Amino acid sequence: MTCRTKTFIIPLIIIALALPYLPLYAGSHEGHQHPMKAEEAAGTGQAPVFVTMPDPGQKVPIGNDYYLIYGFDKKLKMGTVIMKIQVYNSRGEKDTSLELLGDSGMPSMRGAHETGDQHFKLSQKGEYLMPVSIVMPGDWEIRLTIKKDGKVIFRGSYKFDV
């Protein structure tokens, strides 16, 4: 072997031995797609925070001006149940001027059973009503968003198990 051949082969051997330890790419994420949350896509930059609501039948404060009391038309079990919400102002009078949205789903299976925001319907009794379809046993969550004049004034979450 000539000296010239040795100077060419030795660096090739060193590179071949080092290859298993070199990363396959230089850490660039160019060309890679990353999943984007809906909130980021909407431009807010962060997910909304939902406070944990107490059990049904208890007062849930909505700032200083309102409170709500919620419940269901029957025991929470598989099938369709109706969530009922009564909203009161600070004087204890029923208030029907708010916009209520509800989203139900299974936190352990995000994206599989979510309904997306559904508007509550207002009954003749002044109760806000929304059907909740419970399609399988497991952990469930109902997320409530309340708006006044188009602005969100409350976000709450109730988790339960069926």
Cα pseudo-dihedral 123, 149, 46, 120, rounded to 10: 10
What pTM did the predictor assign?
0.69
Specify the higher pLDDT residue, 147 or 113: 147
**68 within domain boundaries:** yes
Question: Per-residue pLDDT for 24 more than 70?
Answer: no
Residue 18 inside a domain? The answer is no
Query: Alpha-carbon distance 157 to 143, whole Å?
Result: 4
Contact 143, 103 (CB under 8 A): yes
Domain for residue 100, yes or no?
yes
**Structural domains counted in the chain:** 1
- Per-residue pLDDT tens for 114-137? 777 899 999 999 999 999 999 999
Structural domain includes residue 109: yes
Hey, is 108 helix, strand or coil?
helix
Indicate the burial class of 86 (C-beta count within 10 angstroms; 0-12, 13-18, 19 or more).
middle
Measured between alpha carbons, how far is 102 from 87 in angstroms, rounded to an integer? 15
Instruction: Kindly state whether residue 5 falls inside one of the protein's structural domains.
Output: no
Query: Which contiguous run of DSSP H or E holds residue 52?
Result: strand 51-52
* 24: in domain: no
CA 114 to chain centre: 9
Q: What's the whole-number mean pLDDT along residues 92-109?
A: 93
Report the percentage of the chain scoring pLDDT > 70.
72
Give the pLDDT confidence of 50-75 residue by residue, as tens digits: 999 999 999 999 988 999 999 999 99
Is position 97 within any domain?
A: yes
Q: How far apart are CA 114 and CA 100, in angstroms?
A: 17
| pLDDT score of 33 | 44
What are the counts of helices (DSSP H) followed by strands (DSSP E) for the chain? 2, 10
- Residue 71 maps to a domain: yes
Domain that holds residue 142: 51-161
CATH code (residue 87): 2.60.40.1930
The predicted pLDDT at position 26 comes to 45
